[in-house]
Every structure is written in C-alpha cells, then in structure tokens.
Structure 1
Amino acid sequence: MEYAMLALQYLALFFVFVIGVGVAAVIVMYFLDRQQTGDAIRRNYPVIGRFRGIFTELGEFFRQYFFAMDREEMPFNRAQRNWVYRAAEKKSNTVAFGSTRNLNIPGTPIFMNAVFPPLDDQYASTEPMEIGPYCREPYMAKSIFNISGMSYGALSKPAVRALSRGAKMAGIWMNTGEGGLAPYHEEGGCEVVYQIGTAKFGVRDHAGNLSDDKLREIAAKPNIKMFEIKLSQGAKPGKGGILPAAKIDEEVAAIRGVPMGLDAISPNRHREVDDFDGLLDLICHIREVTGKPVGFKTCIGSAEPWFEFFRKIKERGEECAPDFIAVDGGEGGTGAAPMPLIDLVGLPLRDALIRMVDLRDLAGLHDRIRIIAAGKLVSPADVAWAICMGADFVVSGRGFMFALGCIQALKCNKNTCPTGITTHIPSLQKGLVVEEKDKRVAAYAKAVISEVETIAHSVGVAEPRQMRRRHVRVVKDDGSSVQMNEIHPSVHLGLEGMARARGFKQFEDALRRMDVKDAAE
C-alpha cells in the first residue's frame, strides 16, 4: 500500500512537472511572438497564431486523405495514384457498379470502340520500332512505355537501383536525366538513354565543355542505346536544372563534377547552340562521335519557330535530322523549379504534341524522326491518347515514382522525402527496399502496356501505334464530343484542308515557308 501511494505521489509530481514545463513554454512563446516583427498574426495573437502555420503545412495532407474527392486533387488525384499502386502490386484494377469519372468535363478523351473488334486470339501487341536508321548502331526499341529522365541526385540511390532493375524485368528503357550516369543506372542491366543537360554533367571537360573522349567512353557501354540533348523541360522552360545543395553528397558531386555545399544549377541553355543550325550541328557531332541515335527533349511555347527547324532539315537532308524528339508538356514535373515557370510557362502536352507531330509529318519525316511524349502521362488512357495523337513512344517519371511508393508528399526539393525516393538521408532511404520495389516498377510498366494494348484491341487495330486521331473523341464545352481528327486533321487533307479546319489563314502560308508541298497534290 505504501509503495502504491509513493508511486502515485511520483506520478503526480511528474504530471505537475510536465504541466509546469508546458506552461513555461507557452509563456516563453507568448513573449517571443509579441516581440518578433516578421509575422503580424503571431504578434497580434501570440501562441494561438502559430497554429495557422501548422494547419497550412498539414492542409495538403488532410485534403489528400480525408477531404478531397477521388478525382479532385492536383497534380495527381487519388484515383490516378491508386491505379498505379494497384498495378504495381499486381492487384486487380477491375471496378464495380460504374465509373466515377465525369465524362462531361471539357477535354476528356473518349476512345471509340469498333463495332466488330478483333477476336481475342487476334489480340493487339506492341511491335519493336527502330530509332536512328543513319547511325552506326541503330536502336530497336521494344517498348512504347519507358522511364523518363530523373537524375541520380534528384533521386536516391535505392530509387535508381530499383528503377534500373525493374526496367530490365519489364524490357523498357531508362533515361538517366541530366545528372550523368551512376553505377546504379547500370546495376539492373536495362537499356539506358543518356541525357546530356545544359551543364554536360558526366560528359564535360574541366572547363565545362562537351568532351568527345567522355562521350566515346559512355557510348562504349553496351547498355547505352541513345543520347538525348536536353534543351528544356516542361516544369521549368527557360531555366536549367536545379539540384539543392542538401541533396549533393560526395558521390553525386563526383559524378556531376560539381562542388559540395552549393546548389548545382545548370545554364538555361547550351552555350554553343544559338540557333537551329547550331542544334543540328550538335546532334550530328554527337551521333558521329558515339555512333548511337541522338535526339533532343524540349518544351515548346509556340509552333511558329519550329517551321524554320524543319526547313533547315530539308535543306541539309534527312540524314542530318534528329533521330527522335521528346516533347515535354508544360505540366511536366521536376524536383525543384520556380513557381512562375512550373505554373505559367510552356504549352500543355495536349497542344504541344499535336503541333510537333504535324510539323514532322508535313516535312515528310514521319518514318525518320520518332516522337516521344512526356508530361503527366501515368495511366493507360494517357498513353493511348498520346499514341493516337501521333507519338511513337511515351515516357513517364512520376508514374514510376508512384510505382516506387511515392505518396505525393511534395517534399522532393527538401531532401526529406518520407518514402526514401528523393532523399539522401540513410534513415529515410531504409524504407525503400530495392528487392521489393523493382518488382513494382516492372509490374506497373507491364500493366500500362497491357492495358494500352487492350484499348487498341477495343478500337479495332492490331498494334497500338495503328491507333489514330479518328479513334478518340474529346468532350467539348457544351458536353458533346467530337472526333480528334475533325479538330486536328491529319496531313492527308492537304495544306489547304488543314488550314480551313484549323480556322486560320496563316497556317498554309507558314507551312509553305517550310517549302512543303501540299499533300493533296
């Protein structure tokens, strides 16, 4: 009994101590808030005003789990994320009762099923496609859906390892991003696209210029299949890559050739490329040095400047053309970008992709230049839509991040990613088990490809790339829908027909500046 009473006394003293410390802390915060001059709310409402900042910080997470509807969130809603999670876990993505998708929202694509689709034993399957016919080593790409550029440094070591291993399992390529080639890109043995950013990380000399010797060294690796020159990206067009100093450790610094303790900021463009002639010269030079296909990635603000680009190709000959063009939409993602650029600059992919495809086709380069679509494409519907618009391949970054377990915490730029994907803090990286996540990466890729083939089968074609604009409708402002080929006709209408359909007279004149003959003649 005495021991019990003594224990109760100690417990009471403990609670008195805790309460005393709490009261003292509140008093200290009260006087600190009253004295500070930076926050008017805290100065006028000491202590209580601090909850505003806490609730603001937590608001996005409460909305994600409790308040937002399945299809309300940005940049990706719960329905999109859950589809990827279930696909990555090899769970059934069948649903019951009815779709929760609102089919009256303007811009919603609706695929047109065939009256008499092929039988099940005539199932559509993806055929390999050659890239770079004029190269010493052309690339026969097997998959329509691949991993977009995400640098080691922006991503953690276990994330890159899991992506590499998963890409090998799924038979897809992986883009290095502009941060250079890390050993972890090669670990899985997948096919790799080496991205050359404006800072030339991994292939530059001590002065920061492009090094032919390093290009040859990289190209000699059998898993390196293509080189992609990064002109710009959708999340920050006009701005170079940004890797915060907090995410640069000794290994990242060594691979990139940058000092520790400073943000790694790439130039906003390639210094040696002042015009389209310079771009074509750089493409031809890298292709000659490496023997591999070379293309570029860009976010476009208008189709107008690109008429001159294709005219230059026609002057030089198609052997001087890029082997591929990766079109990134203004809605593309990144690890860190200024808000004005991520929100306000660059055409959305739905506008940009069609313009680049049409210019390529009108220049007579449909079979010469492959088009790769990028920018918020994570589901089979996204991929199928891009192919209908004329893309030959689709790449995704954030889709594969979801496959790794990303919860859209929006902490990519702070080195505090709770899932270990975009952090270099070892204790957080432990949550990402490579031997499990690689299987999720492969399962997600295979699920997307399989369901794109299902859509192709439904619309009545034998291979996904046979889908055309006539196979998809888009919802208009009044809730009705129209076939995409009526809004964006193919080149087979001829220039005058396209000009009439597009509704502006300058279209034909602009095309003739490119010296393109009318396809109807």
Structure 2
Amino acid sequence: MAEVGSLLLTMLEVLAALFIFALGLAAASVLVMYIVDRSQTQSTIRRNYPVVGRARYFFEHLGEFFRQYFFAMDREEMPFNRAQRSWAYRAAKNVDNTVAFGSTRDLRPEGTVMFVNCAFPTLDEDAVPPSPVKYGPYCETPYTTASFFNISGMSFGAISTPAVCALSRGAQASGIWMNTGEGGLSPYHLEGGCDVVFQIGTAKYGVRDANGQLDDDRLREIAAHENVRMFELKLSQGAKPGKGGILPGAKVTEEIAGIRGIPVGEDSISPNRHPEIDSVEDLLDMIAHVRRVTGKPTGFKAVIGAYGWLENLFAEINRRGIESAPDFIVVDSGDGGTGAAPMPLMDDVGLPIKESLPLVSDLLIRHRLDDRIRLGCSGKRINPTEVAWALCIGADFVVSARGFMFALGCIQALQCNRNTCPTGITTHNRKLQHGLDPADKSVRVANYARNMVKEVGVIAHSCGVPEPRLLRRYHARVVCKDGFTQALDDLYPLPEPTIVATGT
C-alpha cells in the first residue's frame, strides 16, 4: 500500500513539474511575442496591443468558417447562401428536398425570378424526357445528346485525383458530359467512361509542343479517344476575364506536369489570351483548324464585356458561310468562380449572366444563327431556378462547376487556392484527399445531376410544357424596381431575324 502511495506521489510530483514547466514555457512565449510585437513596425495593432492584438487575426481567420454556421441567415451569405447549398447537398444525397411552413425566400428584391404556372399543368403521364440536341452538323463526327445540365471546366491539378474520378463516374452514371478544364486530359477523366469536352486554354495544356504552341499531333491523340466528344477554346472565364489560369507550384506534381507539359513544382500561369487569336477572323480560323484536325465539334467559352466583337463575329460567319460557325458558345458570368484570381477581376470585370446571356441569344437570333450555334451558359447555376431561367432565355445547355463541387462535399471553406481544402476536392495533400471516396461521391454527383433534371422538369410541367427545353421567356417573370413583376419576354423581347446569310 505504501508503494502505491509513493508511486502516486511521484506521479503527482511529475505532473506538477510538467505543469510548472508548461506555465513557464507559456510565460516565456508570451514574453517573446511581447518583445517581437513591440519591436516590429509592420502591424500597428500588434505594436500598440502586443500579444492580445494577435487574436484579431486568429478570429478573423475563424470567421470564414463560423459565419456560415452561426451568424449568416439562410439567404444572405455569399457567394452561395445556406439555402442554395442545402438544396445541392440534399439533391446529391437523394433525400427529401421539400420544405415546410412556407418559403424563406424574399420575393421583393429587384431581379427575383418567378415562373408562371399555367391553369392546366402538364400531367405526369404526358411529360417527356429532354429532347436531344446535335452539335457540329458540319464536322466529321457530330455529337448528339439530350443532356442540358453538365459539369463545367475544373482542371486536374486544380482539383484532386479522387474528385476527378468521382465526377467522371457520376457523369457517366447520369448521362451528362464533363469538361476537362484547361489542365489537359488525365486518365481520371476517362476512368468513368463519361462523355468529355476537352478545353483548350491559353497555355494549350495537354496539346502543346515544347514552345507552348498548339500541337496537331497531340490534338489527334486526344481526339482519338471516343469519349472525347467536343473541343472548347477558352477565351476567358468569369472570375478572371483577361487573366490566365493560375496553378500554384505546390499543386504541380510530377503527374500533373506530365499531363500539362510543364515543369514540376513551378507556378503554372497561362497567358491572358491566345496569342494567335487577335481578331474574329483569327478565332474562326482557329475553330476551323481544331475541327478539321480532330473531326469533332468545336466551340468557345467567353465572358461577355464588350460585345461589338460578337456582331463582327456573326457577320463574318454569315460572310464565310454557316459551316464556319463555332458549334457552340458558352457564355460565362462575370460572377463566376475559380480557385485563385485577383479580386478586382473577380469582383468588378465582366457582365453577369442575367445581362450577357439574353444579349448573346438575341444576337444569334438577329443573325439567324440560333439553329446553327448551340448556346450554353455557366456562372452560379446550382439550383433548378437558375437553370430553368437560362433555358427560358434561350440556352441549349447549362454547365456548373461549383454545384458539382457541393455534390462532392464542398463546404465553401474558401481554401481552394491554398492546397488545404478540408474536403479533399482542391488539394493534393493525400491525408486530406483520403476523406473523399470516389465510389461514394460519384453516386452523389449522379444524384445531383438527376435531381436537377427532375426539378427543372417540375418547373416546366407547372408552366404547362412537357419538357424543360420547351421553356420560353414568357414562362418567367422578374421583380422590377417598383416591386411588381414583368415578363421576361417584355424585358428581353425576342428580336426579328434581320440579317440574311450571304455565304454558302
């Protein structure tokens, strides 16, 4: 018994010594921080309030994570509020997405979209699947698909291996396509067997030669994959129009460098435009070249700011002949997202999709090209309302990146550019990637896509049409400055086709 008591006493003495040592170490640390803070000149707060001033930065950092859980209301957070994210999460999990006791959406703000239900909505037995659309009627291998909601460009490198695998498998399971983003074609894009749109960015990753120029042999190699259905020239993207892609060196692994054709471990910064495209004539020449080499539909993606060039582009198409037209155009919104971009470009440059999509749709109609060029859009289209609105305006399809990131489990932690993504989506840290199981997340990707199609269909049926592609501008209204709504076809009246093609 005495031995046990002696042992306990010894343990208490050791614990007391450790406690005193810890207190001393803490006191010494505080003293060192005090001296450092009082001596430095970079931070006024730390100089005037040594040690305690450091808490400001700590809580500022924590605020990014706590706001969405404790302080922000369901409809007020940016870039996506809790209500938007919750719909995406529940759709991905394929759980009940109904709500009780009335909507929390404020219907008064200007710009709020409302769809007009008809007196005699479409019966379930009269509903039909989305109609198929043909891309590239003048190319060697056209592409036909009924999908109107697809995965937007997210490069391998910007997102992780398990994320790409999950997206590829989920896209195949739900019958949608996946855009590679500008980072080249990886084995993981092909793993799931889905349809793939290969994006050619300004750095020509994956299809470049040693000098960074377009390599026709590499183009043919990519096009030889049956799953690669179309090619997309990226002129600009929503979060950084006029700025090339940015991939931090920490993310440029040996594998990524091999796929892109760039040095390992170095920051990968794309040119801010395609150097060889300096006019609408050059753009059409490049599209024709890629289409001729690959034999597959080719289009482009762009943020709309200045739009006189579109008038010139469509006029040049009609001069050359409609076969010279891009097979599709994707209009990206000025409020689009990405992992890393300068704040002035992310916040203040480029037109939002609510203005640019109607503008491009109307120009296509005026130039009689709306049947030739398929129109798509991207930029914060993660819920059925935004997708249905785009179809009403005239889009043939919608692509979403961040919606599918939510399906993968993204919590909007705003860590995309730091290689510290807690959900394993935008990091190459294997420990963090471990939490993202492609088998599980691919099911959620497929669920999200299917539920989007289903609920856009619910909107269409309420408006009295049997399928989403029959939605028109008169099926929606928008709240205006006076608080009353106005029909979309009054706000954006369809123009008369006035320009006749003169080419072949």
TM-score normalized by structure 1? 0.94
Q: 1:189 aligns with which of 174, 189, 193?
A: 193
Contact 1:124 1:464 in 2 (8 A): no
- Please identify, of 210-219 and 394-403, the stretch whose mean Cα deviation from structure 2 is larger: 210-219
Q: Which consecutive unaligned segments of at least 5 residues does structure 1 have?
A: 496-513
Question: In the aligned structure 2, how far is the partner of 1:139 from the partner of 1:293?
Answer: 7
Tell me the equivalent position of 1:510: none
Matching residue of 1:468:
472
Equivalent in the alignment of 2:137: 133
Find the counterpart in structure 2 of residue 307 from structure 1: 311
2:356 to 328, 352, 356: 352
Aligned match of 2:205 in 196, 201, 213? 201
Q: Deviations over 1:137-196 (max 9, x none)?
A: 110022100000000000001100110011000110000000000000000000000000
Aligned AA for 2:367? A
Q: How far 1:463 sits from its partner (Å)? A: 1.8
User: What displacement does 1:515 show?
Assistant: 6.6
Distance apart, 1:59 and its partner CA: 1.2
Structure 2 counterpart of 1:254: 258
Q: How does 1:165-180 map to 2 (within 5 A)?
A: 165-180=169-184
Counterpart of 1:153 in structure 2 is: 157
Identity %: 60
1:474-514 C-alpha deviation (Å, 9 max, x unpaired): 0112221110111110124x77xxxxxxxxxxxxxxxxxx6
Q: Please name the residue that 2:487 is paired with.
A: 483
Q: CA deviation at 1:124?
A: 4.1
Name the amino acid aligned to 2:290: I
In 1, the alpha carbon distance for the partners of 2:240 and 2:199 equals: 17
Q: Is contact 1:310–1:360 with CA below 8 Å preserved after alignment?
A: yes
Where do 1:84-163 residues align within 5 Å?
Answer: 84-163=88-167
- Separation in structure 2 between the aligned mates of residue 385 and residue 392 of structure 1, nearest angstrom: 12
Rounded Cα–Cα distance in structure 2 between residues aligned with 1:142 and 1:461: 17
Question: Within 2, Cα distance between the matches of 1:119 and 1:338?
Answer: 49
Q: How far off is 1:212 after superposition?
A: 1.1
2:436 is the counterpart of 1:432: yes
CA deviation vs aligned residue, 1:301-357 (integer Å, no higher than 9, x gap):
033221111110110010000000000000111111111100000000111101111
Whether the 8 Å CA contact 1:124–1:454 is kept in 2: the answer is: no
- Inter-partner Cα distance in structure 1 for 2:15 and 2:219: 70
1:366: Cα distance to partner?
Answer: 1.4
In structure 2, C-alpha distance between the alignment counterparts of 1:208 and 1:7, rounded to whole Å: 67
User: Aligned runs of 1:312-391 on 2, under 5 Å?
Assistant: 312-391=316-395
Tell me, what secondary structure is at the counterpart of 1:315? helix
Q: Is the partner of 1:491 in helix, strand or coil?
A: coil
2:75 is equivalent to residue 71 of structure 1: yes
- Tell me which amino acid in the other structure corresponds to 1:250: E
Deviations 1:227-261 (A, max 9, x none): 00000011100011111111110001111111123
Matched, 1:266 2:281: no
Unpaired runs of at least 5, structure 2: none
TM-score normalised over the length of structure 2: 0.97
Matches within 5 A, 1:505-516: none
Backbone CA RMSD of aligned residues: 1.3
**Within the alignment, does 1:401 sit opposite 2:434 as a pair?**
no
Contact 2:235 2:301 in 1 (8 A): yes
Find out whether 1:453 has 2:457 as its counterpart.
yes
Is contact 1:388–1:469 with CA below 8 Å preserved after alignment?
A: yes
- 8 Å CA contact retained: 1:123, 1:462: yes
Moved over 4 A (4+): 514-517
Any conservation in 2 of the 1:124–1:461 contact (CA below 8 Å)? no
Structure 2 residue identity aligned to 1:476: C
Q: Which stretch of the first structure deviates more once superposed, 310-319 or 54-63?
A: 54-63
Q: Does 2:24 correspond to 1:20?
A: yes
**Across the two proteins, how many residue pairs are aligned to each other?**
498
Contact kept? 2:149, 2:397, Cα under 8 Å: yes
Secondary structure at 1:117 match in 2: coil
SS in 2 for 1:297: strand
In the alignment, is the contact (CA less than 8 A) between 2:321 and 2:501 conserved in 1? no
Q: Aligned to 1:424, what secondary structure does the other structure show?
A: coil
One-letter amino acid of the structure 2 residue matched with residue 57 of structure 1: H
Matched, 1:282 2:286: yes
- 1:98-145: CA deviations, max 9, x gaps? 000000011010000011112221124211111111111110022100
Aligned counterpart, 2:249: 245
Q: Distance in 1 between matches of 2:10 and 2:321?
A: 94
> Contact (CA 8 Å) 1:124, 1:456: kept in 2 or not?
no
Instruction: Give me the whole-angstrom Cα distance separating, in 1, the residues matched to 2:208 and 2:199.
Output: 13
Give the distance between the partners of 1:441 and 1:331, measured in 2 at CA: 23
In the alignment, structure 1 residue 61 sits paired with structure 2 residue 101:
no
